[in-house]
Structure 1
Amino acid sequence: MKVIDIVKKNKLLTGVFLAYAFLFIAMPDKAYLSVSNSMYYIIEMLEIMPVIFILTSIIEAWVPKEMIINGFGEKAGIKGSIFSFLLGSFSAGPIYAAFPICKMLLKKGASVSNVVIILSAWAVIKVPMLANEAKFLGVQFMGVRWILTVIAILIMSYLVAAFVKKESVPMLQEQDLNQITCVDIKEQYCIGCGLCEKLLPQHFEMADKKAKWKESILSHEQIDRIKSIMNKCPAKAIGFR
């Protein structure tokens, strides 16, 4: 029964595991090549993501919510679109590094349309990429492609905002206190920093370099204390269920 629950909670990982198992049986050479490529990206993520989580936590703690709302919120208008283009265009790192940052911006008041602009600009119109594009394909090609891409991004941001609401983004909505039964620590995300144990040693402990919840029951008073730890967790590995 426990195995079934684990599989249900990790459907994507289960699917990947089954795909690899099939490859090793049917096409071993392709399987070894696939594992080699996967390990390259896993190592890259392990090098980049801790820095991104720390940066996200710093922004979340130090940048006031009002500043995010004024710069990237629903009523930011053209200013918000420009700020979003600049943030995405001058970013560094692969596109997956943008997801935790954009989720944090959504939580602090950024609009869906501006988050789409940030993600799209991060992916296709970063300044270093534009410089290389102009060098190898010419300034005219780069300029026309950039203008058309910006137009497409603006149209896409409007359409996504029209169909996708903030309430549909996981973990953005507040949970009903009466529905919370325990603390859920996602071990696959936990980086073993020990911050939760240092701040609330009566509730958290470290075991095998992973955070563990010590209590069996959860009171409303504890929920308020845990929320502050959730916001400070650099890996966003702590939640309720």
Structure 2
Amino acid sequence: MNKVIGIIKKNKLLFSVILTYIILFIVKPDKGIESIKNSTYYIIEMIEIMPVIFILTSLIEAWVPREVIINNLGENSGIKGGIFSFILGSFSAGPIYAAFPVSKTLLRKGASVFNIVIILSAWAVVKVPMLMNEAKFLGVKFMGIRWILTILSILIMAYLVSLLVKKDTIPANNKNQNNDLSGIKVKQKYCIGCGLCARIAPNNFEMIEGKAKVKNKNIDINDIKEVNEAIEKCPAKAIG
């Protein structure tokens, strides 16, 4: 029984949805059948799209260096970061839920909250093919004004979200949320031997022959903040 309760607690959202469907079938069977049909459609769509998205995120994780993400989409990327984010979202393909795994990967590799909001928002409402259809059916003037106001709204929203939501509060950004450092490495060819990581998180990084090394694979929950800080402040962006 305790094991079952534990599973339910870990999957509260899933069981809430199942419970909602059961209640709907009891109260309004016709609506329940309609909901199942709609859900089945979206599940099939996700099965078709998500494998491609997972391949894309794996390629980003494996082939795009952390320093490239930080320089172009990070906290100090400035106007350049906003433009790159807007272009990435605008020329994207697929429904908005496909953007979430991509955003998680970009956050983990150093993208800022501000730029992630721009990517998600542009992905949802500023797709180039959609603009073409909008101009065709509603006119270029309508499309242009709506597009400009949408961009302004996205920038305002991105700024407000970046003020209210910090990266260390986002589970997607906390690579060490399971107290596991097995996925984090110090890229020796980039490490300049400054020793900053070892000073910030001495329990988890050490200097050996002038280069930083991961000291412990498993970290205490109290050290997670220091490890993330060491990763963010590494001047060579060698930890990732």
Instruction: Tell me the TM-score range normalised by the shorter chain.
Output: 0.7 to 0.9
Q: Which aligned pairs between 1:70-109 and structure 2 lie closer than 5 A?
A: 70-109=71-110
Q: Which aligned pairs between 1:36-115 and structure 2 lie closer than 5 A?
A: 36-115=37-116
**Distance in 2 between residues matched to 1:174 and 1:92, nearest whole Å:** 27
**Unaligned segments of structure 1, at least 5 residues:** 181-219, 225-241
Runs of 4 or more above 3 Å deviation: 174-177, 220-224
**Distance in 2 between residues matched to 1:18 and 1:136, nearest whole Å:** 42
The two structures have a TM-score, normalised by structure 2, of 0.73
**Distance in 1 between residues matched to 2:3 and 2:126, nearest whole Å:** 46
- Superposition deviation, residue 221 in structure 1: 7.6
**Distance in 1 between residues matched to 2:142 and 2:67, nearest whole Å:** 40
Q: Which aligned pairs between 1:1-241 and structure 2 lie closer than 5 A?
A: 1-175=2-176
Count of aligned positions: 184
One-letter amino acid matched to 2:67: E
Cα distance, 1:171–1:116 mapped onto 2, change above 3 Å: closer
**Distance in 2 between residues matched to 1:85 and 1:33, nearest whole Å:** 37
Structure 2 residue matching 1:152: 3-state secondary structure? helix
Cα distance, 1:91–1:171 mapped onto 2, change above 3 Å: closer
**Distance in 1 between residues matched to 2:22 and 2:172, nearest whole Å:** 33
**Unaligned segments of structure 2, at least 5 residues:** 181-214, 220-240
- Superposition deviation, residue 139 in structure 1: 0.4
- Superposition deviation, residue 175 in structure 1: 3.6
The two structures have a TM-score, normalised by structure 1, of 0.73
Query: Per-residue CA shift, 1:29-63, capped at 9, x if unaligned?
Result: 11111000000000100111111011100111001
Tell me which residue corresponds to 1:214: none
Tell me which residue corresponds to 2:237: none
- Superposition deviation, residue 173 in structure 1: 2.5
One-letter amino acid matched to 2:158: S
Q: CA RMSD in A?
A: 1.9
**Distance in 2 between residues matched to 1:144 and 1:53, nearest whole Å:** 35
